[in-house]
Structure 1
Amino acid sequence: MFAKFRFATILLLCLVPQLASAWGDLGHETIAWIAQSYVSSTTSSTIKGILNLTQSDYIANVSTWADTYRYTSGGRWSAPLHFIDANDNPPSSCSVDYSRDCGSTGCSISAIVNYTSILLDDDSSSTTKYDAMKFLIHFIGDLHQPLHDEALEVGGNDINVTYDGDHTNLHHIWDTEIVEQLADGASAESFAKNLTASIKAGAYGWDVDSWLVGTTLNDTMSSALTWAKEANGYVCSDVLSAGVDAVEQGNLNGSYYKAHFDVARVQIARAGYRLGAWLNLIFTGKTAV
């Protein structure tokens, strides 16, 4: 399966440091539902054909598959593709450099490039396109979680924190707890409807027109790298703006959540909007419906 990413030994794959799954199920499914609001009828029917699905949640239905697959014996090779480990210096400086940060086993950016090219290739087999579609849907979501674009303390996995009285780690609360608190009990579909309405209204000062600037299939790596750099920037400005010691104190579901939840909100919205646009580009040649 996609040999270009399978040359690492099992030992190396077992040593891959990232442990958490970006956004958790709620986040990934919400991103997928948002994307479904922005795909054209042509894109929608093409995706359904590739995935052999007809139900209303045809993108959301497969949005978490890659997280399940990575923990199977046959899927360990895909673990490095969920992130890019930016070897920067937050909170003093944040940056993503592809040649520095994308390891020999691949990363989220190289994966997006690869699976996009597979879907664009008319000669790709139906089986190859099936897997490529599921991976691409997931990895575009992953790329927008700031700590999936960061190497410090294993992307925050080794930063111990407390959230709502539970002892966990910083990466996990950005994947799950902050998103769940933000959704306030809503399902992924309902949460996505609220965020889609906010996108269309330009709520929260969102400049939606800027979200697709530079997005092009002529240079897929540049597009993905732009999104990764944007997400990584939040590690300095928000996620770890006060340093590691600061987040290891207190209960983060209080003042920390209030100060930073908008980053999770805008990044989930951007991921869904961009995923829909990217799929439109692949199947219709233009981002808009």
Structure 2
Amino acid sequence: MRFLLTSLTAAMTLGLATPAQAWGPIGHRVTGAIADRNLSGVARANVRLLLGEDDLAEAATWPDDMKSDPADFWQKTASPWHYVTVKEGDVYKGSDAPPQGDAMTALTRFTATLRDPKAPVEDRRLALRFIVHIIGDLHQPLHAGGGDDRGGNNVRVTWFGRATNLHSVWDSAMIEQRSLSYSELADWLSRSITPEQTILWSQSDPQVWLRESIALRKTIYPADPALSWDYAYQHRTQVDGRLQRAGIRIAAYLNWLFEPAATTPAKAR
């Protein structure tokens, strides 16, 4: 597998004007910043080898930044890799994935690439950035949709009087309302994560993350489409919790992924 990435700098600049999908830039950077604080030494070294001076907060937004790149890879191939659709029940199944793939199939694909020491460095770098981003996506409850409203994009609401949709409210509006930078919010949220929560949340099984997102998604559709302070207050703890868990799990997944292979003890002579 080899991806040709061109005009990176120009594409990232243009990407700033692209509507975000999944968490907005602040949310994704928060998850990456929390993850950075919870990496093992080995995982941190591997991330540094692949990303250089970039940190996971920068990596977390990169797949969204690149959506303005006109290449078919970004416009067609990678487009469905930010969400899943659970067609029946509350558990994601492999049969739920469309032929073009989804976030779960992409996560599996990029995990295999990152674990392959023979894969080209540029492919492993791309895989790392997507893994960080996808794990954040899977913690946004409307990215585990039921396939009937485009993940809340078709649910028209107002946010403090401004016309928008429910997906956008969860992506960015509730986060941006607090007027905090991503580093400020990441610091606040990191300080409130207890050691017990870090241990409890450090599951590297994506099915666990999805079950939580699906359960939460069912509770966030408003009876009144006019959303403001009441809705923000009601769901702020849930937004914070999903960002916190995503950050911890990005770290847990990378710690597992980069764990050194067990060595066989030398036989006595």
Root mean square deviation of aligned Cα: 2.0
Greater CA deviation, 253-262 or 264-273? 253-262
Distance 2:97 2:224 in 1: 27
Partner of 1:218: none
| Contact 2:50/2:124, CA 8 A, preserved across alignment | yes
Pairing 1:225–2:207 present: yes
CA positional deviation for 1:71: 3.9
DSSP-derived class of the 1:118 partner: helix
**Which amino acid is the alignment partner of residue 48 of structure 1?**
R
Match of 2:239 among 245, 256, 264: 264
Pairing 1:234–2:216 present: yes
| Contact 2:20/2:64, CA 8 A, preserved across alignment | no
Partner of 2:28: 28
The 1:262–1:2 alpha-carbon spacing in structure 2 relative to 1, beyond 3 Å, is: farther
After superposition, what is the alpha-carbon deviation per residue over 1:15-71, rounded to whole angstroms, capped at 9, x for unaligned?
xxxx851110000000000000001232212112112x225xx11122111012234
Distance 1:212 1:2 in 2: 31
Distance 2:70 2:159 in 1: 32
After superposition, what is the alpha-carbon deviation per residue over 1:57-108, rounded to whole angstroms, capped at 9, x for unaligned?
x1112211101223432202101110001224xxxxx613323421111111
Pairing 1:147–2:142 present: yes
| Contact 1:96/1:149, CA 8 A, preserved across alignment | no
| Contact 1:108/1:143, CA 8 A, preserved across alignment | yes
| Contact 1:32/1:137, CA 8 A, preserved across alignment | yes
| Contact 2:140/2:213, CA 8 A, preserved across alignment | yes
DSSP-derived class of the 2:37 partner: helix
Distance 1:37 1:266 in 2: 17
Partner of 1:80: 80
Match of 1:158 among 126, 129, 154: 154
DSSP-derived class of the 1:119 partner: helix
Q: Name structure 2 gaps, 5 residues minimum.
A: 4-18, 262-269
| Contact 1:115/1:133, CA 8 A, preserved across alignment | yes
**Which amino acid is the alignment partner of residue 85 of structure 1?**
T
Pairing 1:43–2:43 present: yes
Q: TM-score, normalised to structure 1's length?
A: 0.78
CA positional deviation for 1:284: 2.3
Structure possessing the higher radius of gyration over alpha carbons: 2
Structure 1 ranges of 4+ moved more than 4 A: none
Distance 1:85 1:279 in 2: 25
Distance 2:39 2:202 in 1: 14
Say how many residue pairs are matched.
242
Matched-pair identity in %: 29
After superposition, what is the alpha-carbon deviation per residue over 1:112-136, rounded to whole angstroms, capped at 9, x for unaligned?
1111111111111101101111111
CA positional deviation for 1:262: 1.4
Partner of 2:98: 103
Match of 1:168 among 137, 160, 164: 164
Pairing 1:278–2:253 present: yes
Match of 1:253 among 214, 217, 228: 228
